[in-house]
Chains A and B, each alone.
Chain A
Amino acid sequence: MRRHVFILALVVGLFCSVPAWAGKVVVKGSTTVLPIAQKVAEAFTQETGIKVSVSGGGSGNGIKALIDGTTDVADASRFIKQKEVNRAVDNGHYPVPFGIAYDSIIPVVHPSNSVSDLSTAQLKKIYKGEIKNWSEVGGPDRPVVVISRDTSSGTYETWEKKVMGSDRVFPGALLQASNGAVSQAVSKNKNAIGYVGIGYLNNDLKGLTVDGIEGTKATTLSGEFPVSRTLFMFTDGWPKGDTLKFINYVMNPNKGQKFVSEVGYVSIF
């Protein structure tokens, strides 16, 4: 009987102590930042032996985990909101932001579409539902099918801020829940227009230039391309120990930042 109690205690003890086990960094949050975090974590573990657990779930969930103290690093494709800062401080956590990469959001159409440039004003009118036919912007006589992202995604938020201004995307816009789903939907529909992160451009999509500027790494870094955003990692307080090592690794131009370009985003250095 005593032995059973002992084993039970041991098992319970093991389960409770897992998070504190031999150097482990927990990273949670934005699905946009996820590919970067995964690549970097893999290389980081190989080099240092420190285990990193990476999971997605969205910027909101990542920051929520930071507020609850269940993650060391929160990935976010948007900046933290005032309400979230307040709640974190109430819980005794102090989020510190690190800008780790840039992402440009490129409007895309079906490759058969002859339109290749739209101004920000035209994009805004399309997403407000005012331009309903491609012929109004110099394209073929076909209806415009507007594809947007779910309103809480970071990609959508950037689009809203940089393109829509204070106007709303009209209710008839189709909603897709991920970059991948948008590119899938646009590549299957010759009437469609959508927008995806620069890393998701492929041969099935035709990227448009905005105000005559092509979305590339150079135009993103120079700030010329109008629709771009910073991707963040938040830590709980100024990072220490393993978390500090991880953040340093991410920011290192020859290490973490190399993977940023590899997965299709724009590196900071």
Chain B
Amino acid sequence: MAISRQKKELFMRMFFTLLGATGIIILTLILLFLVMEGMPIFSEVSVTDFLFGKYWYPTYDPPDFGILPLIAGTFSVTIISSIIAIPLGVMTAVYLAEIATPRIRGIVKPIVELIEGLPTVVIGFFGMVVMAPFLQRVFDMPTGLNLFNASIMLAFMSVPTICSVSEDAIYSVPQEMKEASLALGATHLETIIRVILPASLSGISTAVILGISRAVGETMVVLMVAGGAAMIPGSLFDPIRPMPASIAAEMAEAPYQSEHYYSLFAIGLVLFVFTFAFNMLADYLAHKHKQVGAATL
């Protein structure tokens, strides 16, 4: 064969560069498309009116393109589901990594990972058919399709993500740190709180952010169980409409390249900025709390 090893090397290098670049290029093109299709709406309404307008009536004449109710919907459902999911997820992880016997760990961990793989439409269907009538009956609400139900379902979805990623982080804290702590006379609980959790903080914060950003962008569940009223929620039991639900529900029928169409892309852009900010935060936290030395992950 006439191909020299250097050429082969060069070829392989180019090949993998190309593969790596493809992903990035496609993502950039998607972003570009999002911006191109989202921007024209701002010639109709100002950015302030769009972001802080209280009414979302895109198909009326004259239309209103205020997405504040949708942003409020996304925020409220994200915050409440985090309040439920973060303690649950992290504590389950601590239990699995530190307290559970290997036997229990061997059974529970695969189950948690299995739940992580549940299709979101299944979770949504469960929320709609089982959870909503249940909540309505027990708490005597006008409707079971509301902020509370959606938060529970989203928490149910992000707990496994938070749990399995932070469990990996906690489990990989080196044995000698734990032993050192115990040798100094600390109890098991003190060791967990003072040594193991701080040492795995960067992994846990990454897990939390991953779980939350999964909830922020989740579409199917909120479309099915959040109720979908485009208003700013006044109580825990009000129906809401987060941004992804609005895009999913309206895109199919929106006339092509109409103002409505552009405004849905603009919502997508806002959503993108949110999740991007979350990921940047995750990156920052991971670096800030990175342990050096023995506990390096």
Contact = CB atoms under 8 A, between A and B. Distances in A.
B93 interface: no
Contacts of B28: none
B111 to A, nearest CB: 29
Interface string A157-185: 10010000000100111111100010011
B231 A150 contact: no
Contacts of B128: 184-185, 188
B125 to A, nearest CB: 9
Which of B55, B142, B252 has most A Cβ within 10 Å? B252
A84 B257 CA distance: 9
A154 interface: yes
B63 to A, nearest CB: 10
B250 A181 contact: no
Given A151-B57, A188-B129, A191-B143, A174 B255 contact: no
B139 to A, nearest CB: 13
Contacts of A81: 255, 258
Interface in A71-89: 81, 83-84, 87
**Interface residues of B, dominant DSSP:** loop
A152 B59 CA distance: 7
B224 interface: yes
* Chain B, interface residues (CB within 8 Å), range: 35 or more
Contact of A176 (B228, B252, B257): B228
Interface string A100-133: 0000000000000000000000000000000000
A64 B229 contact: no
Contacts of B255: 60, 63-64, 81, 83-84
A60 B129 contact: no
B230 A175 contact: yes
A252 interface: no
Nearest to A176: B228
A174 B252 contact: no
B12 interface: no
Contacts of A153: 253
B282 interface: no
B16 interface: no
B143 A189 contact: yes
Interface of B: 55-60, 69, 128-129, 132-133, 136, 142-145, 223-224, 227-231, 238-239, 241, 245, 248-258, 260-261
